[in-house]
């Protein structure tokens, strides 16, 4: 009932925000005729989902775009990449590492694995470069042109590890004239400074430099004395420099360098935050006490550090009939993270412990001493005119060297590990692809593509501690696979396009060797999952009427064979890779955008995802914490449960988002109000289903009210304005530990364009 009342209050706040937007004309009636019928329309949305610039409405794919006002609003108040979660249908993003290790889910497909070499079925592509390792995927959002979300297998043009789709970021290019500077201050002494400037230096050279700095003070009060260190603060700086040379009309070369330096708290885990027998969040005093987001009791060391460096080169040469594109990129990363995994203080064998019953302390640290990723793509694409056959093809090379170190500490403040685990992973991949679009008539076109993938991985792990070596091992995987897609687009009228698509996706084999920090049991040295393949079927309609209303609808069905899943946590505190027979998914997405008159823009989106495990022989260990599991127990066993028929973890069946923007001219500019909202339905946190380790729903809203001219923008903003409190993840091996969503943030921002 408490959650229902909170949802009701959230919708009330949303209605107030919408009403505020709709009443804005009252402030402007003396300055401008409010009956103006001028309408600039929605215009076209240009994307590069098929590696060439095209109108979104003409592409036979389910695609959504975040740009303009929505992207600007989501980037305020210290938001990171997780702020995109739910802002387009069927997209979820979460993290047990906070701002440095996001996990992406599209149409229910993702990976809850917390290991630092975890493979994900959603790929992140930043300026045409795939970011494979999880610590690369949280690179900050700044000076971006747009974010594209491509649903469904993208195995032809974007390759391996894309069976669920990709999230694609495109930076503003160096030949874009001008720049901006803006700064904001907000709750918890949040500060954001951001700026960029670029353009032509002469007829040949253009350049652009972008920078972002974010900080927030520690705002979670650790009330456990003497460990009264406050938590959840951070400082984050990111830089991007681009130099572009265009010595002729045919040749363009662009060199990009990027850097990130992050220091802050690791994720704050909260011991026994779930009330036994329900998923209600409770306070530090136990059942019946009010949950307080800004208080915690913990006794462990907590820190997080991340450094990233990137150097990339993009070359394009127009030969006339065809264009050659070559993209080379190198990424380097270093990472350290230590947190209080049990989420509280003490343990059952100590004089005092809590909150609630904590059977034993759990303190661990993970590091990436070195990550080196190199990618090279070369492709050739036709410069075809309208009505002609267009094609592209190329090769892709991937090479990664990754070192991981994990430590277990027997005491919360200990600095000498009792167990040390060293992992070394070397991965390489080769891809060769081709795609062509054939117009069969003025209305009908067919696109087909195929890709050959070859993946190799070598993995070595060594564990030491307690009384010497406690386990080591090595393994190798090598697999070749072919992915493909075929789609048809039919232009039913000037306003309506129909499409259908069949695609085969692929995720390469995975290996892990995570430590099992338990005295009595030794985990298998290596955990391995074979490759998975996905067959996906999709059809949709894309419409745009009078440049005032845009409506797109897609329906899909997929079956993922030999699905890679991770049995995270459990009574044995393992992160074990498994394959299940299949995962079966079906659902739809709908997106709506309208501009009935120039002052008002409305958007809405809805997604339904039914993503269930289909394997009568799939069983996993249940929670070590005293949770209430609702799955059937395997016959003749104790603590082993069937997961057949379960919805995938972190996969809400329903996602809904909507925005409204209203503006009226005042003086040389306009007063505007913009509000954005995202809702998701119930999620489970683990492969098994339990009462406690779940969250019924979450609804978060944002508001931005300001005055803007061609040059200046002054705004008041809020994020999570209803202060929704929802669990977003959990740890299940020790106690009823969980972690929650970001707090409400209020602030002001000022910006200037030049």
Q: How confident is the model at residue 224 (pLDDT cuts 50, 70, 90)?
A: confident
Residue 515 is predicted with a pLDDT of 54
Asked whether residue 19 carries a pLDDT value surpassing 90, the answer given is no
Residue 571 is predicted with a pLDDT of 66
Query: What tokens appear for 357 in the block?
Result: 């019953």
Considering all CA atoms of the chain, what is the largest pairwise distance in Å, rounded to the nearest integer? 83
> What is the tens place of the pLDDT at every residue in 245-290?
999 999 999 999 999 999 999 999 999 999 999 999 999 998 999 9
Query: Considering its fold, how many domains does the chain have in total?
Result: 1
Give the three-state DSSP class for 174.
coil
The residue among 406, 533, 532 whose CA lies nearest residue 117 is 406
Asked whether residue 4 carries a pLDDT value surpassing 50, the answer given is no
Give the three-state DSSP class for 386.
coil
Cα torsion angle, 51, 55, 56, 60, sign: negative
> What is the tens place of the pLDDT at every residue in 541-598?
999 998 899 999 999 999 999 999 988 777 666 678 899 999 999 999 999 999 998 8
The residue among 326, 363, 359 whose CA lies nearest residue 341 is 363
> What is the tens place of the pLDDT at every residue in 599-646?
999 999 999 999 999 999 999 989 989 999 999 999 988 889 999 999
CB-based contacts of 219, cutoff 8 Å, min separation 6: 187, 188, 230, 232, 233, 294, 743
538: containing domain: 2-753
Asked whether residue 29 carries a pLDDT value surpassing 50, the answer given is no
CA distance 68 to 75: 11
C-alpha distances in Å from residue 228, one per residue of 215, 222, 300, 354, 516:
21, 5, 10, 15, 30
Residue 471 is predicted with a pLDDT of 66
Residue 13 is predicted with a pLDDT of 47
Q: Where are the beta strands (DSSP E) in 523-573?
A: 527-529, 532-545, 549-569
Residue 220 is predicted with a pLDDT of 95
In terms of DSSP H, where are the helices of 476-631? none
Residue 15 is predicted with a pLDDT of 46
CB-based contacts of 518, cutoff 8 Å, min separation 6: 572, 573
Q: Which residue has the higher pLDDT, 646 or 471?
A: 646
Q: What percent of the chain has pLDDT over 90?
A: 74
The secondary structure element, H or E, covering residue 242 is strand 234-245
Residue 211 maps to which CATH number? 2.40.170.20
Instruction: Kindly report which listed range (200-209, 263-272, 384-393) carries the lowest average pLDDT score.
Output: 384-393
In terms of DSSP H, where are the helices of 90-236? none
Residue 46 is predicted with a pLDDT of 87
Residue 525 is predicted with a pLDDT of 64
pTM: 0.92
> What is the tens place of the pLDDT at every residue in 50-94?
888 888 899 999 999 998 888 888 888 888 999 999 999 999 999
């Amino acid at each position: 009932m408490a959650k229902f009342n909170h949802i009701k209050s959230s919708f009330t706040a949303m209605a107030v925000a919408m009403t505020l937007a709709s009443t804005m004309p009252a402030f402007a009636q003396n300055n401008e005729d409010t009956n103006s019928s001028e309408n600039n329309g929605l215009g076209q949305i240009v994307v590069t989902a098929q590696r060439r610039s095209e109108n979104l409405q003409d592409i036979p794919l389910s695609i959504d775009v975040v740009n303009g006002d929505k992207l600007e609003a989501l980037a305020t108040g210290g938001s990171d990449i997780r702020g995109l979660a739910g802002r387009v249908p069927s997209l979820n993003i979460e993290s047990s590492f906070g701002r440095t290790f996001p996990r992406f889910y599209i149409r229910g497909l993702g990976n809850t694995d917390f290991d630092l070499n975890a493979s994900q079925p959603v790929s992140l592509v930043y300026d045409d470069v795939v970011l494979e390792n999880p610590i690369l995927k949280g690179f900050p959002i700044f000076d971006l042109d747009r974010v594209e979300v491509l649903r469904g297998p993208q195995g032809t043009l974007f390759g391996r590890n894309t069976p669920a789709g990709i999230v694609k970021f495109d930076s503003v290019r160096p030949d874009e004239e001008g720049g901006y500077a803006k700064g904001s201050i907000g709750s918890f002494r949040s500060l954001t400074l951001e700026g960029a400037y670029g353009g032509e230096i002469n007829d040949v050279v253009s350049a652009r430099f972008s920078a972002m700095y974010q900080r927030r003070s520690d705002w979670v009060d650790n009330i456990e004395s003497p460990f009264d260190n406050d938590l959840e603060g951070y400082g984050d700086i990111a830089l991007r420099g681009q130099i572009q040379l265009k010595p002729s009309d045919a040749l363009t070369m662009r060199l990009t360098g990027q850097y990130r330096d992050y220091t802050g708290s690791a994720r704050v885990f909260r011991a026994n935050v779930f009330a036994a027998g329900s998923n209600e969040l409770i306070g530090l005093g136990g059942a019946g006490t009010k949950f307080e987001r800004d208080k915690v009791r913990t006794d462990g060391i907590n820190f997080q550090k991340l450094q990233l460096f990137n150097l990339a080169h993009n070359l394009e040469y127009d030969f006339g009939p065809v264009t050659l594109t070559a993209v080379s990129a190198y990424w380097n990363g270093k990472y350290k993270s230590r947190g209080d995994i049990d989420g509280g203080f003490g343990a059952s064998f100590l004089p005092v412990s809590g909150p609630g019953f904590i059977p034993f302390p759990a303190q661990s640290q993970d590091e990436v001493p070195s990550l080196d990723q190199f990618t090279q793509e070369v492709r050739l694409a036709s410069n075809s005119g309208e009505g002609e056959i267009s094609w592209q093809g190329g090769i892709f090379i991937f090479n990664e060297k990754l070192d991981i170190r994990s430590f277990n500490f027997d005491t919360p403040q200990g600095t000498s590990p009792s167990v040390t685990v060293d992992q070394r992973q070397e991965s390489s991949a080769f891809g060769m692809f081709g795609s062509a679009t054939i117009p069969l008539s003025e209305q009908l076109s067919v696109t087909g593509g195929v890709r050959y993938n070859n993946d190799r991985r070598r993995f070595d792990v060594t564990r030491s501690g307690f009384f010497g070596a406690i386990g080591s091992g090595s393994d190798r995987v090598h697999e070749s696979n072919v992915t493909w897609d075929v789609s048809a687009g039919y232009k039913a009228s000037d306003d309506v396009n129909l499409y259908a698509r069949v695609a085969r996706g692929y995720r390469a084999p995975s290996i892990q060797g995570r430590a099992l920090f338990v005295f009595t049991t030794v985990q298998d040295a290596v955990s391995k999952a074979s490759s998975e393949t996905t067959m996906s079927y999709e059809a949709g309609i894309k419409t745009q009427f009078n440049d005032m209303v845009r409506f797109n609808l897609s329906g899909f069905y997929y079956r993922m064979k030999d699905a890679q899943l991770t049995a995270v946590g459990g009574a044995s505190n393992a992160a074990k890779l498994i394959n299940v027979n299949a995962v079966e998914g079906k659902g739809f997405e709908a997106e709506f955008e309208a501009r009935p008159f120039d002052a008002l823009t409305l958007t809405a989106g809805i997604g339904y995802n039914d993503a269930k495990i289909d394997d009568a022989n799939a069983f996993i260990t249940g929670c070590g914490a005293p949770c209430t599991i609702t799955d059937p127990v395997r016959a003749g066993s104790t603590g082993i449960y069937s997961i057949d028929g379960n919805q995938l973890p972190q996969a809400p069946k329903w996602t809904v988002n909507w925005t409204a923007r209203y503006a009226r001219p005042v003086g040389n500019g306009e007063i505007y109000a913009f509000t954005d909202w995202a809702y998701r339905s119930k999620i489970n946190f683990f492969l098994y289903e339990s009462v406690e380790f779940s969250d019924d729903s979450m609804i978060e809203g944002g508001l931005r009210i300001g005055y803007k001219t061609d040059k200046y923008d002054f705004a008041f903003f809020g994020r999570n304005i209803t202060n929704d409190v929802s669990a977003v993840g959990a740890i299940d091996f020790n106690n009823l530990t969980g972690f929650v969503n970001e707090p409400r943030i209020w602030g002001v921002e000022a910006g200037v364009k030049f």
